Amino acid sequence: MTEHTLTVAGVAVDTRHWIGGRRVASAETFTDVSPIDGSVIGEISRGTALEAAAAVAAAKAAFPAWAATSRAERARILHAVADGVEKRIEELSIVETTDNGALLRSHRRGVMPRVAHNFRFFADWLLKLEHEDFETRGHTNHVSWDPAGPSVLITPWNAPLMLATWKVAPALAAGNTVVLKPAEWSPLTASLLADIAAEAGLPAGVLNVVQGYGSEIGDALTSHPDVRRISFTGSVPTARRIAESAAGNLTPLSLELGGKSPLLVFADADLDLAVDLAVEQYDNAGQVCLAATRFLVEESVAEEFTRRFVEKAATLAQGDPRHETTDIGPNIHPRQLEKIDAFVQRALAAGARAVIGGHRKDTQYYAPTLLTDVAQDSEIVQEEVFGPVLTLQTFSTEEEAVRLANDTRFGLAATLATADAERAERVTAQLVAGTVWVNCFFVRDLQAPFGGSRHSGVGREGGTWSFDFYCDVKNTVTAPNGWKNHG
Ligand code: NAD
């Protein structure tokens, strides 16, 4: 324990950066606050351009050896990281819940096992990554994936370690070295990941973690000429700034951004299933990029759907996310709560009606809200709220449903409830979305392409798509008689 260690529910967390295999403190700190009750967790190193440069330098220095490490050895170390995560699921879960307010039971049973799986999946995928050779007029084409270099990974607070490791694991598997910048509202589990990776034998400098405000440290990372890849998950305005900052070096970007995804409920749907899917949209207090926040319901079943939705939503327990029976926890920060409430109050002033909710509960919690009587071009239908706020509109034809579904600047996901397979196929083909779920929600396989269209993102990650992004993909063409002529 040092003066730079804080303790969360008995778990020691180092509050400094992790650079080149060493803990490094900044002169300044920022205060980390728990969304559960607004209490201060502790002071965290507040990175500057200095630490950003040091982290990129460490990643650059470690790159040649890590890139030259065999696929088998890289995979072995990634599995060792997964083992370390599995050993510390309980600790990671309580720290994450304290830091970002998401449900402890979800962290224990779903999220942290998934974090371990991120490492196992990309370790295994690396071992089978190949493209069949092919011939061109007798010449052989051979495709290979070369490690690209130091990669900057910038992540948000709504699922901190899950989203960080969904980038860290493939970047490391690809043979890249990493500088991870977690969100300033949830910095803690990234620090624990650094400990776990070091214990697992990941060489110094291969994974670096810098803490701090994106507005202060971001540019120094994203404009750095030694950075070969930037993968960002977060909001559209930040993505724009990162794209501008990366433009000087034409650094390739992967951007996973916001959404305003629809849930389309057709009259032929199993309404109980549709309501189950609808109520799920309050998960993580609505702070889910993929959330289907716009219900589009066929007119003939809208009343019945709403009745059952209200009934089901009333059974959700809101409160302390550490309690086993809680369904909806707090929102991340009082500032976020203000933002959510401002959206809702503007919508109500513009004529929307709150079927349920429509107000905050206190400084940390927002009442689960469903708004109707909302115009398609209104702010509440067009902009991402990122809180437990849903809207309901009706449609009378399939054509109208598709038109409304596609009529925002986003295109992250769409969910359909229908009993008609042909309709599902027809509608899906017309939807602008990176992921479409039919009669289900949030089923995510790591080998599937993941990303958004329009303002929901640029590029796809997942399975081979991740390696395509993190690597320099090379095609080698060998002449049939090359060895005789030049050997
Ligand atoms: P944000 O854009 O405010 O911050 C995200 C990260 O960017 C943080 O680490 C922040 O410090 C950093 N950052 C801020 N300014 C920066 C700059 N100038 N340069 C570099 N980095 C900078 O987003 P947020 O509020 O943390 O997250 C919520 C958003 O993330 C929502 O829009 C949500 O939809 C989106 N999101 C998308 C996905 C997805 O996979 N598509 C997943 C989760 C969240």
Does residue 62 surpass a pLDDT of 60?
Answer: yes
Q: How far is CA 132 from CA 136, 141, 142, 341, in A?
A: 13, 9, 7, 54
Atom of ligand 1 nearest to the CA of 159: 43
Minimum mean pLDDT range among 41-45, 159-163, 439-443, 481-485: 481-485
The three-class DSSP label of residue 224 is coil
Other Cβ atoms less than 10 A from the Cβ of 70: the count is 9
Q: Is 452 a pocket residue for ligand 1 (Cβ < 6 Å)? A: yes
Q: Which of 98, 216, 237, 241 is nearest to 157 (CA)?
A: 98
The three-class DSSP label of residue 416 is strand
pLDDT digits 0-9 by tens, 242-293: 999 999 999 999 999 999 999 999 999 999 999 999 999 999 999 999 999 9
pLDDT digits 0-9 by tens, 426-478: 999 999 999 999 999 999 999 999 999 999 999 999 999 999 999 999 999 99
Better-predicted residue by pLDDT, 93 or 482: 93
Mean of pLDDT over the chain:
97
Atom of ligand 1 nearest to the CA of 451: 41
What average pLDDT score do residues 367-393 get? 98
Domains and CATH numbers, the chain: 5-257+452-475 (3.40.605.10), 262-438 (3.40.309.10)
Q: Is 341 a pocket residue for ligand 1 (Cβ < 6 Å)? A: no
The three-class DSSP label of residue 480 is coil
Biggest CA-to-CA distance, the chain: 80
Does residue 132 surpass a pLDDT of 90?
Answer: yes
- The Cα 428–Cα 438 span in angstroms is 9
> So what's the pLDDT on residue 481?
76
- DSSP character at residue 223: T
**Residue whose CA is at the smallest distance from ligand 1 atom 30:** 234
Percent of the chain with pLDDT over 90: 97
Q: Is 453 a pocket residue for ligand 1 (Cβ < 6 Å)? A: no
Q: Is 187 a pocket residue for ligand 1 (Cβ < 6 Å)? A: no
**Residue whose CA is at the smallest distance from ligand 1 atom 10:** 214
Q: Is 156 a pocket residue for ligand 1 (Cβ < 6 Å)? A: yes
- The β-bridge relationship of strands 292-298 and 389-395 is parallel
If you write DSSP's letter for every residue of 300-336 in order, what string do you get?
A: HHHHHHHHHHHHHHTT--BS-TTSTT-SB---S-HHH
pLDDT digits 0-9 by tens, 300-314: 999 999 999 999 999
C-alpha 426 – ligand 1 centre gap (Å): 34
- Catalogue the active-site residues: 256, 289
Edge-first strand order for the sheet with 134-136 is 134-136, 139-147, 471-478
> So what's the pLDDT on residue 105?
98
pLDDT digits 0-9 by tens, 319-356: 999 999 999 999 999 999 999 999 999 999 999 999 99
C-alpha 237 – ligand 1 centre gap (Å): 9
Does residue 401 surpass a pLDDT of 70?
Answer: yes
**Residue whose CA is at the smallest distance from ligand 1 atom 8:** 183
Does residue 363 surpass a pLDDT of 90?
Answer: no
Q: Is 461 a pocket residue for ligand 1 (Cβ < 6 Å)? A: no
Q: Check: CB of residue 83 under 8 Å from CB of residue 200.
A: yes
C-alpha 156 – ligand 1 centre gap (Å): 5
- The Cα 77–Cα 291 span in angstroms is 34
Does residue 483 surpass a pLDDT of 90?
Answer: no
The three-class DSSP label of residue 58 is helix
> So what's the pLDDT on residue 332?
96
Report the residue among 211, 233, 283 best suited for mutation to probe ligand 1: largest number of ligand atoms under 8 A from its CB. Answer: 233
- The Cα 105–Cα 325 span in angstroms is 9
Other Cβ atoms less than 10 A from the Cβ of 113: the count is 16
Q: How far is CA 435 from CA 164, 359, 448, in A?
A: 20, 31, 9
Q: Is 289 a pocket residue for ligand 1 (Cβ < 6 Å)? A: yes
> So what's the pLDDT on residue 487?
43
Q: Which of 386, 296, 284, 376 is nearest to 341 (CA)?
A: 386
Where does 26-159 have alpha helices with state H?
A: 49-68, 71-87, 89-100, 104-106, 112-128
- The Cα 359–Cα 341 span in angstroms is 7
Atom of ligand 1 nearest to the CA of 450: 40
Q: Which of 132, 228, 133 is nearest to 179 (CA)?
A: 228
Q: Which of 289, 274, 367 is nearest to 328 (CA)?
A: 367
> So what's the pLDDT on residue 57?
99
> So what's the pLDDT on residue 1?
67
Does residue 484 surpass a pLDDT of 90?
Answer: no
Query: What pLDDT band is residue 2 in, cutting at 50, 70 and 90?
Result: confident
> Tokens 């598997």 appear where?
173
